[in-house]
Amino acid sequence: MPVIVKDLKYADSHEWAKVDGNSATIGITDHAQDHLGDVVYVELPEVGKSISQGSGFGAVESVKATSDVYSPVSGKVTEVNEELNSSPGLINASPYENGWIIKVEMSDKDEINKLMDSDQYSKFCQEEDAKH
Amino acid sequence: MRGGLWQLGQSITRRLAQADKKTVARRYFSAEAELKKTVLYDFHVANGGKMVPFAGWSMPIQYKDSIMDSTLNCRQNGSLFDVSHMCGLSLKGKDSISFLEKLVIADVAGLAHGVGTLTVFTNEKGGAIDDSVITKVKDDHIYLVVNAGCRDKDLAHIEEHMKAFKAKGGDVSWHIHDERSLLALQGPLAAPALQHLTKEDLSKIYFGEFRILDINGAQCFLTRTGYTGEDGFEISVPSENAVDLAKAILEKSEGKVRLTGLGARDSLRLEAGLCLYGNDMEQHVTPVEAGLTWAIGKRRRAEGGFLGAEVILKQLEEGPRVRRVGFFSTGPPPRSHSEIQDDKGKGIGEVTSGGFSPCLKKNIAMGYVKSGSHKAGTKVKMIIRGKAYDGVVTKMPFVPTKYYKPT
């Protein structure tokens, strides 16, 4: 079973957000990296870019497939994980820690309420897998 | 990530789709219950195979290990693939050769008994209907294997021409080998593992050669060929013996040869510079453009006599307008339909297959560019999600092939 971290918020497109005040750290979930397989390239946005909830801000490429990454929150990109340029495999090895993708200064904190908590996301993954 | 991860996992299936797009789309969305299963289906599932729809079949895209590891293991040890979805058929009758030569570019008459070759079925415009490995078993028996996704259209095409041929008194008939399954055994341990299961001396069977022989107690059609660039075999086995044979091969390799899915198969064939029909070759692409001029027999170039010969022979004389070439590139891996530009930003072509090479640890791709931009070393730009990344035209295969040939 994929690892799901308790205090994070989750989008149905399989990104997580770790909220700290007005800032959110964003990455893809263990479930997502497991389905993607070996990540070979991560396309990062520019620092300062405005992003909105539900819209794409980058891409993760694995041997198997290309996948767009969607932002779980709206705001401005304050930091990107440059480590991923040289070590894209961090997404596989440490999806919730060293494999984080961007940090965002949130423009609308209420959006967090539209995201799932760990229990809801866990159930969501089970249902999605069961469908197939 | 969007659209559900399951669909994401399917994107390779779409990338691998071998038939014309409409057929694949229809089959791809068909209910899972409608998918055909090979006799190895339960064996795949028991071994951790992740099953996906592929050309109307439920096939393993990978097993427990990653596509990266699976690809590397094939080149280091070996892989066993279930390719029973592909369609094997025999043409029988004294006019089999002259019949088939109307449809393909190969010099079938010039093949020795028990020797096969890669060929292309062409249409009236010289475009490729499918690629196929054909073997002259005897003068009155040709064995061939066509792509799963092309099965229906290939059989319809062959049947239509066969009717006309027979109406003029030609002696040819076919048998579709639906009673058989097809396994591909590839990699350096392929021959040593298989040798345990047959009395025939495999060291005397070279690349492209064919035998009908007993393997693990069943009468098999064995061709020393494959789709990975490695030495290896394709084994057509009676379906009731297929699971036993798969188990025996894995056992005789002491677990070093591993079950390998479609995902690694795609990486392996790309590294070997081999075309995937539906991606790198299509109805409107001629064998000359696809870099398969070598497969047009010398006699066929002089005589023609196959569908689209006028177009193809003219291209041979004047040179094709576009050519299939290989690329290395930086940045994200190019995928099919990525635009290719010259170093001044002018569009010169399109990628047809691309990805990250597990063996070379860098991006590789193949695609079509205008003649003139096709020489190795030519600098290009790959356009991916609107950004340009550096690429260079490169000779193929990307990874050296290891076919077993007489020294």
Residues B183 and B264 in one domain: yes
Domain enclosing residue B386, as ranges: 321-394
Shortest distance between the Cα of B53 and any Cα of chain A, in A, equals 11
User: Residue A128 has what pLDDT?
Assistant: 85
Per-10-residue mean pLDDT of chain B, 407 residues long, equals: 42 40 42 85 97 94 95 98 97 98 98 98 98 98 97 97 97 97 98 98 98 98 98 98 98 97 97 97 98 96 97 97 98 96 97 97 97 97 96 98 95
By three-state DSSP, how is residue B160 classified? helix
B320 phi/psi in degrees, rounded to 5: -75, 160
Residues B223 and B365 in one domain: no
Q: Can you list the domains of chain A with their CATH numbers? A: 13-127 (2.40.50.100)
Residues B184 and B67 in one domain: yes
Residues B72 and B210 in one domain: yes
Q: What is the tally of helices (H) and strands (E) in chain A?
A: 4, 9
User: Residue B26 has what pLDDT?
Assistant: 42
User: Residue A24 has what pLDDT?
Assistant: 97
Pick the last residue of a domain from B248, B271, B294. Answer: B271
Give the position of tokens 């077993």. B404
Residue B309 lies in a domain: no
Residue B80 lies in a domain: yes
User: A132 falls in which pLDDT band (50, 70, 90)?
Assistant: low
Helices (H), chain A: 30-36, 83-86, 90-93, 118-131
Contact A52, A74 (CB under 8 A): yes
Closest CA to B162 of B175, B150, B151: B175
Residue B252 lies in a domain: yes
pLDDT in tens, A39-74: 999 999 999 999 999 999 999 999 988 899 999 999
Instruction: List CB contacts (< 8 A) between A10 and chain B.
Output: none
Residue of A nearest to B354 (CA): A63
User: Residue A65 has what pLDDT?
Assistant: 85
Residues B248 and B379 in one domain: no
A86 touches chain B (CB under 8 A): no
Per-position b or e across B21-41, b if 16+ CB within 10 A of its CB: eebbeebbeeeeeebeebbbb
User: Residue A130 has what pLDDT?
Assistant: 82
Q: Which helix (H) or strand (E) holds B237?
A: strand B232-238
User: Residue A1 has what pLDDT?
Assistant: 76
B119 phi/psi in degrees, rounded to 5: -140, 180
User: Residue A131 has what pLDDT?
Assistant: 75
Residue B105 lies in a domain: no
Residues B183 and B79 in one domain: yes
Residue of A nearest to B267 (CA): A63
A121 phi/psi in degrees, rounded to 5: -65, -40
Number of independent structural domains in chain B: 2
Gyration radius (Cα) of chain B, Å? 21
What ipTM was predicted for this assembly?
A: 0.85
User: Residue B407 has what pLDDT?
Assistant: 85
Instruction: List CB contacts (< 8 A) between B15 and chain A.
Output: 65
Residues B194 and B327 in one domain: no
Residue B160 lies in a domain: no
Q: Which helix (H) or strand (E) holds A127?
A: helix A118-131
Calculate helix-pair angle for B5-16, B21-28, nearest 10 degrees. 150
The CATH number given to whatever domain includes residue B31 is 3.30.1360.120
Residues 328-357 of B with CB under 8 A from A: 331-333, 335, 355-356
- Rounded Cα gap, residues B131 and B290, in angstroms: 11
Residues B258 and B337 in one domain: no
A70 touches chain B (CB under 8 A): yes
The CATH number given to whatever domain includes residue B366 is 2.40.30.110
Instruction: List CB contacts (< 8 A) between B333 and chain A.
Output: 40-41, 61, 66
